[in-house]
Amino acid sequence: MKMGARDQEEEAAAPTETKKKKQTSKEVCFSVLPDRYEPLIEEEEEETQEERRKRKEEKKRRKTKRYKKIRKNVGKALRLSWRCLMLGLQNMAAVYSTPSSALSTMVSEVQRSKA
SS (H, E, C) the chain: CHHHHHHHHHHHHHHHHHHCCCCCCCCCCCCCCCCCCCCCCCCHHHHHHHHHHHHHHHHHHHHHHHHHHHHHHHHHHHHHHHHHHHHHHHHHHHHHHCCHHHHHHHHHHHHHHHC
Domain ranges of the chain: 60-98
Predicted local distance difference test score (pLDDT) of residue 34: 73
Q: What is the pLDDT of residues 15-72, one digit of tens each?
A: 555 567 778 888 888 777 777 777 777 655 556 788 888 999 999 999 999 999 999 9
Whether pTM exceeds 0.75: no
